[in-house]
Amino acid sequence: MRAPHKVSDVLRLSLQSLARHPGRSALTALGVIFGVFSVIAMLAINEAASAKSEVLLRELGSDNIIVNAVKLTGQESSASGGGGRHSVLVYGITFEDVERLRTVRGIRRCVLAHRTQRIAYLDGTELPVEVIATEPDYATVARLDMTTGRFIVAADSAAREKHCVLTAALARKLFGPHDPLGRSLLLGGDVYRVVGVLARLPKAMQTGADAENTIIVPLVTHESVASLYTILRLPGSFRSEMAEVNQVILQMVNEAAVERAAPIVRRLLDKYHPHHDYRVQVPQELIEQQQKQARLWNITFAFIAGVSLLVGGIGIMNIMLASVTERTREIGVRRALGAKRRDIVAQFLTEAVMLTLVGGLLGIGLGQLVPTVVGRVLEDLDVSVSLLTMLLPFVMALVVGLVSGLYPALRAARLDPIEALRHE
């Protein structure tokens, strides 16, 4: 038996030592395998979820400031009248608010939208729908995705044409497999002609209601006082709700203008709306907040998974300490044949690192299954494993292996050769 002097000798001896107890080595590496796999899985899923959230937020437009009317429960009692049989709830943004908002510097476009609930009639079919009356520029600020036809244009507004745009889901419900373009439907006593179909309702237009049953019409054909009301029939009474403007989108010239204008918009509305019956959304702020949360979750997940790697490292240290005890006589023989302390340290450190190396590589291989498994469970989440996601846990595993093997290696190197030779 000779003292190992070459790297190849150290590696060979380490492999032989680990091969003597394959079951024990496999179980020790198992902690590292699952530790690396858990880091990869959590980081990959978090990155995919964060990326999806950011895409949805960007649909709102990073250069937009969105103001929505909010119906407050406390307002209902103060607006009631008529002996309790008829109540009128007035809330939200007014045309005067819009004129004030138009004075904010840096605005490229200011677009209004009004929502009411109506019944659509077609060939004897009645279907409750949400009507969104808006302006042609909404197509730009809301990032519309048209399936067929066109959105309402300035000519429709100028001529007060009763044209409408449907969501694809509503078009299928009303017209089935037939082409809806050019067809007409009855909406609130007026006949509207379909000029376009949206793939889906843009994120900026969704308010929590049924986003599928939506009809978009020109604001000028829907701006009479009567059309501003939504009638809700209740047992023994009915209630009217009215908001002059349900939504205002301010498209700014750039993202810097958004940062400057957002606090000004909030102060203007706070001054004239003490009940805060509105909500200001700044997508750019939401995107930045989402990015911060994603970084925080990445750190949290890495810490949690790092704990599992630490547990695996404790297992490695325990096994290596047991190995030092079992191989005390072998260590004495090697020292007697000329092996130096650094040779003993190198051998035991190599064994610990090889355990974590094999466990890390197997954990990375197992981590490649994450996109397939998650893709089957969550079909709308696009999960992928990046190079950084793989390297981070692998490096963590190697560091754990070095740290866990250092103490047993130093303990083995400090054994007195004479006492080691006497050990049984």
Per-residue pLDDT, 88: 65
Q: Which residues contact 171 (CB under 8 A, 6 or more apart)?
A: 180, 194, 197
pLDDT band for 3, please (50, 70, 90 cuts).
Answer: very low
Instruction: Determine the residue type at 402.
Output: L
3-state secondary structure of 243: coil
pLDDT exceeding 70 applies to what percent of the chain? 79
State pTM to two decimals. Answer: 0.62
CA angle 151, 152, 153 (to 5 degrees): 110
Q: Is the pLDDT of residue 166 over 90?
A: yes
Range list of β-strands (E), 106-219: 107-122, 125-134, 146-149, 163-167, 184-187, 190-198, 214-218
State the virtual CA torsion across 337, 340, 341, 347 in degrees, nearest 10.
-80
Q: Is the dihedral of CA 390, 392, 393, 397 positive or negative?
A: positive
Amino acid at 225: V
- The answer to whether residue 2 scores a pLDDT higher than 60 is no
CB atoms within 10 A of CB 385: 19
pLDDT at 189 over 50: yes
Token output for 72: 């407050």
pLDDT value, residue 159: 85
pLDDT of residue 17: 66
pLDDT band of residue 417 (cuts 50, 70, 90) is: low
Query: Which residue in the block uniquely carries the two structure tokens 């009639």?
Result: 121
pLDDT at 233 over 60: no
Q: Is the pLDDT of residue 196 over 90?
A: yes
Q: Residue range 85-110: average pLDDT?
A: 83
Residue 327 exposure: Cα atoms within 13 Å on the Cβ side: 25
Mean residue pLDDT of the chain comes to 78
- CA 156 to chain CA centroid, Å, is 38
CB 351 within 8 A of CB 18: yes
pLDDT at residue 288 greater than cutoff 90: no
Q: Would you state the pLDDT for residue 226?
A: 42
Give the confidence band of 266 by pLDDT, cuts at 50, 70, 90.
very high
Question: Could you give the percent of the chain with pLDDT greater than 90?
Answer: 12
Q: Which two tokens stand for residue 312?
A: 């695996």
Question: Which amino acid makes up residue 346?
Answer: A
Residues 6+ apart with CB under 8 A from 303: none
Tell me what pLDDT residue 197 has.
93
Residue 165 has pLDDT above 90, yes or no: yes
Local structure of 306: helix, strand or coil: helix
Whether 203 has a pLDDT exceeding 70, the answer reads no
Q: Give residue 82's pLDDT.
A: 47
In 162-202, where do the E strands start and end? 163-167, 184-187, 190-198
| 96's tokens | 């005067």
DSSP H/E element including 80? strand 80-81
Winning range, highest mean pLDDT, from 31-35, 90-94, 165-169, 344-348 = 165-169
Mean pLDDT score, 128-157: 88
Over 70: is that where the pLDDT of 119 sits?
yes
The pLDDT value recorded for residue 78 is 41
Which of 155, 169, 147 shows the shortest CA–CA distance to 215? 169
Choice between 131 and 295, residue whose per-residue pLDDT is larger: 131
Residue 62 has pLDDT above 90, yes or no: no
71 three-state secondary structure = coil
E strand residue ranges, 214-352: 214-218, 229-234, 237-242, 247-252, 278-281
Q: Give residue-wise pLDDT tens across range 307-343.
A: 777 777 777 777 777 777 766 677 777 767 777 777 7
Question: What DSSP designation does 208 have?
Answer: S
Confidence of residue 111 (pLDDT cuts 50, 70, 90): very high
Checking if the pLDDT of 81 tops 70, the result is no
Predicted pLDDT at 235: 57
Q: Taking residues 380-395, what's their average pLDDT?
A: 78
Cα–Cα distance for residue pair 135/165, rounded to 1 Å: 12
Q: 190-198 and 184-187 as β-strands: parallel, antiparallel, unpaired?
A: antiparallel
Out of 187-191, 223-227, 414-418, least confident range: 223-227
Phi, psi values for residue 368, rounded to 5°: -70, -15
